[in-house]
Amino acid sequence: MLVLGVESSCDETGAALVDDAGRVHADVVHSQVHVHAPYGGVVPELASRDHLRNIEPVLRAALSEARVDLAQVDGIAVTNRPGLVGALLVGVQAAKGLAWAAGKPLVGVDHLMGHVLAAFLRRGDADAAVPCFPFVCLLASGGHTAIYRVDAPRVDALRELGATRDDAAGEAFDKVAKLLGLGYPGGPVVDRLAATGNASRVKLSAPMASSDSPEMSFSGIKTQVSRLVGQGQARTEADTADVCAAFQAAVTAVLARKTIAAAVREGVDDVVLGGGVAANRELRRRVLDLAAPRGIRVAIPPLASCTDNAAMIAYAGAMRLSRGERDGWDLVATSRTALERTTRKGGGRR
């Protein structure tokens, strides 16, 4: 089964062709980073307009890269939640138009489900380990940070064990980078600078770090960094690198420890990372270091599968299509996820 995936939930326009074994036949991503960089974050109206400009060329490029035409595709999967509604609508309308014109089945995909299943994508690395169900997944992106237990590739077979009570981990990287004058998006540049810094020269504490709870909080550490900047502790490049190193160490230690603790508690042997923050080298290292002595296998997707892409949407869609699921022309775009949420923003379980 070959599925065309379409993604436009935030600031990446994507189209991809993926089969139900996870093999990526084409994966085209047009990034809008340059559009939003001057504003230090994603501007929703600009995102919608840029998706409109790029959706057709991106779709054409993906079909041409996979050397197929629409008639050879078995179904179309599109991100319809969560995200910026104006941005989502561009992909949803394009997917509906194509599905209607070519007479193909259509399924909506929850973007978060795409991140959770991204570890199943095969990009020419046929030997890479495939995670086994059930697994514990740490999903850490710019908009969401949660730890899930996943029993099957279905939204209703996924349980949120804990999530952030406030900012997402990626959001914290972006805000800290902005405070330090490092530009947007913050994750990659903080990752790079942290490698040259000395974390022990800066005192930062991650909230809820010692607690056994899989719930997290990342807004307090951003406030601590803001205070350091106000005190002039990040004036030189070397000082800035030290702050990056301390911030990254605190955040990745919490993410890694809570993820592995959740896997131990759930009695599962597999841990999966997903979302843009899974691209972070220190996070990857910490998770691997904690997992190895406990006999836990870790699946970390390659960079292109961690950040937003349509291949993960196509694969999540292939799982729905292969179960015979279909959506109608009344499929709507919505800002909220369909995944179970137990952690309340602001704190406490639902």
Nearest distance from C-beta of residue 303 to ligand KG4, angstroms: 8
Q: What angle do CA 178, 183, 184 make, to 5 degrees?
A: 90
Nearer to ligand KG4, 78 or 98 (CB): 78
| Count of all residues that appear for the chain in the document | 350
Q: Note whether 145 binds Zn ion by CB under 5 A.
A: no
Stretch binding ligand KG4 (CB under 6 A), from 148-156, 186-194, 294-302, 339-347: 186-194
Neighbours of 223 (CB within 10 A): 12
Q: Note whether 5 binds ligand KG4 by CB under 6 A.
A: no
Q: Which tokens sit at 296?
A: 């836990």
Q: What does 207 bind: ligand KG4, Zn ion, none (CB cut-off 5 to 8 Å by kind)?
A: none
Q: Note whether 142 binds ligand KG4 by CB under 6 A.
A: yes
* # residues contacting Zn ion (CB under 5 A): 2
Stretch binding ligand KG4 (CB under 6 A), from 58-66, 212-220, 237-245, 269-277: 269-277
* # residues contacting ligand KG4 (CB under 6 A): 19
Nearest distance from C-beta of residue 277 to ligand KG4, angstroms: 4
- Distance in angstroms (rounded) separating the CA atoms of residues 281 and 152: 28
| Closest-CA residue to 278 (of 297, 265, 259) | 259
Binding mask 282-321 for Zn ion (x = CB under 5 A): --------------------------x-------------
Nearer to ligand KG4, 239 or 308 (CB): 308
Q: Note whether 337 binds ligand KG4 by CB under 6 A.
A: no
Stretch binding ligand KG4 (CB under 6 A), from 20-28, 102-110, 127-135, 169-177: 169-177
| Closest-CA residue to 149 (of 263, 258, 254, 255) | 263
Nearest distance from C-beta of residue 82 to ligand KG4, angstroms: 9
- Contact between 137 and 260 (Cβ < 8 Å): no
Q: Note whether 197 binds ligand KG4 by CB under 6 A.
A: no
Residue by residue, DSSP assigns 219-270 as HHHHHHHHHHHHTTTT-SHHHHHHHHHHHHHHHHHHHHHHHHHHHHHHT-SE
Instruction: Say what the alpha-carbon torsion angle 126, 123, 327, 156 is, to the nearest 10 degrees.
Output: 60
- Contact between 114 and 126 (Cβ < 8 Å): no
Q: Where are the beta strands (DSSP E) in the chain?
A: 2-7, 12-19, 24-31, 75-81, 106-110, 135-140, 145-150, 158-163, 270-274, 297-299
Among 16, 277, 290, 316, binds ligand KG4 (CB under 6 A): 277
Q: What does 82 bind: ligand KG4, Zn ion, none (CB cut-off 5 to 8 Å by kind)?
A: none
| Residue 7 C-alpha from the chain's centroid | 12
Q: Note whether 173 binds ligand KG4 by CB under 6 A.
A: yes
Q: Note whether 302 binds ligand KG4 by CB under 6 A.
A: no
Stretch binding ligand KG4 (CB under 6 A), from 46-54, 67-75, 168-176, 315-323: 168-176
Nearer to ligand KG4, 134 or 142 (CB): 142
Q: Note whether 50 binds ligand KG4 by CB under 6 A.
A: no
Nearest distance from C-beta of residue 114 to ligand KG4, angstroms: 9
Q: What angle do CA 19, 20, 21 make, to 5 degrees?
A: 90
- Whether residue 44 is preceded by a cis peptide bond, meaning omega within 30 degrees of 0, is no
| Closest-CA residue to 120 (of 270, 262, 6) | 270
Q: In 76-96, which positions are buried (b, 16+ CB within 10 angstroms) versus exposed (e)?
A: bbbbbbbbbbbbbbbbbbbbb
Residues near ligand KG4 (CB under 6 A) are 10, 141-143, 170, 173-174, 185-188, 191, 275-277, 279-280, 307-308
Residues near Zn ion (CB under 5 A) are 141, 308
